[in-house]
Amino acid sequence: MNELFRNYGAEARASVRELYRLNHRFQTVDFVRAKRAEFLPKARRAMGIWEAMEFLDTLVDDSDPDTELPQIEHLLQTAEAIRRDGHPRWFILTGLIHDLGKVLCLFGEPQWSVVGDTFPVGCARSDAIVFAELFADNPDSRVPEYQTPCGIYQPGCGLANVLMSWGHDEYLYHVVNDYLPEEAGYIIRYHSFYPAHRDGAYSHLMSDHDREMFRWVRAFSAYDLYTKRSERPNAMALRRFYEDLIAEYFPPTLRW
């Protein structure tokens, strides 16, 4: 990995560590179930994809030490890099929308419950999770059932049957999944699951199909991470191309 990115060492911003302190303290099985019940009915707002991008444009992700650009510009950087490399149109579109679940922050959710790396709850945690030492204050750490490698799950049960920490990935997956290829759904749902697609953790919970699909998640990760640049894309110049691409896959409005 390029050490210029995802630098969470001693030099990382204090705000990043504080976000993960809260995330690792409060992301419990009960919390995840409550958030799924609260947000997966998708009753907050009706809006189109480009409208959601503009809605998100004021947000800067406090978990990300690599960029302070507004989210719409990171999305365009990611999509344009994928486009330049000649990937399928669904892959380009996935790059454009992959972080739109962060609109949760604009629905009043704190960033620690929306952004940052994701991980399963209800089982033993991997040391590959960023700031893993901060889980000491998590109440689930004192539940014996959750301390085994599989916890409340069965070996090879498949990630669709695993409760992931709540955040923008899981939320957006449920907003857009009916309209996209399965490979895109995997990218959206697991692109922040770095312990798995970067470090190989939690393979005991995966099915063979998960492992096959994760080649797309790993392929996407390079674009998500290494396209973060200080140069700012021209959103207005690119808008027509991306509005046409969005219209190939999505209706004019979606439920959020």
Buried b (16+ CB within 10 A) or exposed e, 185-201: bbbbbbbbbbbbbbeeb
Six-digit token string for 70: 């507004």
Q: Smallest Cα–Cα separation from 36: which of 169, 173, 175, 166?
A: 166
- At 119, give phi and psi (nearest 5°): -165, 155
What ranges make up the beta strands (E) of the chain? 46-47, 254-255
pLDDT at 8 (0 to 100):
47
Determine which helix (DSSP H) or strand (DSSP E) holds 30, and give its type and residue range: helix 29-39
pLDDT at 3 (0 to 100):
37
pLDDT in tens, the chain (256 residues): 333 334 545 555 788 999 999 999 999 999 999 999 999 999 999 999 999 999 998 776 555 555 566 778 889 999 999 999 999 999 999 999 999 999 999 999 999 999 999 999 999 999 999 999 999 999 999 999 999 999 999 999 999 999 999 999 999 999 999 999 999 999 999 999 999 999 999 999 999 999 999 999 999 999 987 555 556 778 888 999 999 999 999 999 999 9
- Whole-Å CA distances, 13 to 16, 64, 114, 141, 151: 5, 9, 18, 26, 33
Find out whether 112 and 118 touch, Cβ atoms under 8 Å: no
Find out whether 44 and 101 touch, Cβ atoms under 8 Å: no
Residue 120 pairs in a beta bridge with 164
For the chain, report the end-to-end CA distance as a whole number of angstroms: 35
Six-digit token string for 62: 């406090």
pLDDT at 226 (0 to 100):
53
Find out whether 62 and 113 touch, Cβ atoms under 8 Å: no
